[in-house]
């Protein structure tokens, strides 16, 4: 029995580690998207990153996921379009346990980049 418990703990630890790594990579991808917007001049009202939380089963198993809502200088108003563009990018986007957590991280990212969202 102790061997089974250790195997389960290891599996849980690997999943947790993978979730943390994917979240960190996703945050870096949001920053990268922002920098690409600045580089190409595709900003909106002095903002290079606008992100929003969505829940779509195709992104992070439906967990609240931050994705960009600013593409080519255009603020998206259709969540389906934002999801499709996020999927088409092939990038990992950060997922969270709650929308509140996603919103807080989005605010921190914008703050760190010197922008208001």
**What residues make up the domain containing 12?**
2-112
* Residue 7 belongs to a domain: yes
* Residue 105 belongs to a domain: yes
Which of 48, 68, 54 shows the shortest CA–CA distance to 96? 54
- Residue 77 CB neighbours (<10 A): 8
Q: Is the pLDDT of residue 115 over 60?
A: no
* Residue 53 belongs to a domain: yes
- Find the mean pLDDT for residues 63-88: 89
Q: Is the pLDDT of residue 86 over 90?
A: yes
- Find the mean pLDDT for residues 45-66: 82
Separation of alpha carbons 94 and 64, rounded Å: 8
* Residue 8 belongs to a domain: yes
pLDDT tens across 3-53, in order?
Answer: 766 665 666 666 666 766 677 778 888 888 877 777 776 666 555 457 788
* pTM tops 0.85, yes or no: no
Q: How far is CA 27 from CA 49, 77, 93, in A?
A: 12, 22, 7
Report how many domains make up the chain.
1
* Residue 117 belongs to a domain: no
> What is the overall mean pLDDT for the chain?
78
């Amino acid at each position: 029995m102790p061997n089974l418990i250790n195997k389960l703990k290891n599996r849980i630890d690997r999943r947790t580690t993978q979730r943390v790594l994917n979240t960190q990579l996703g945050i870096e991808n949001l920053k990268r998207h922002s920098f690409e917007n600045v580089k190409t001049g595709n900003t909106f009202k002095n903002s290079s990153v606008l992100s929003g939380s969505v829940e779509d089963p195709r992104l992070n198993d439906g967990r609240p996921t931050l994705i960009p809502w600013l593409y080519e200088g255009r603020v998206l108003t259709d969540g389906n379009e934002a999801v499709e563009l996020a999927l088409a990018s092939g990038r990992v986007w950060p997922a969270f346990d709650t929308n509140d957590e996603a919103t807080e991280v989005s605010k921190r990212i914008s703050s760190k980049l010197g922008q208001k969202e």
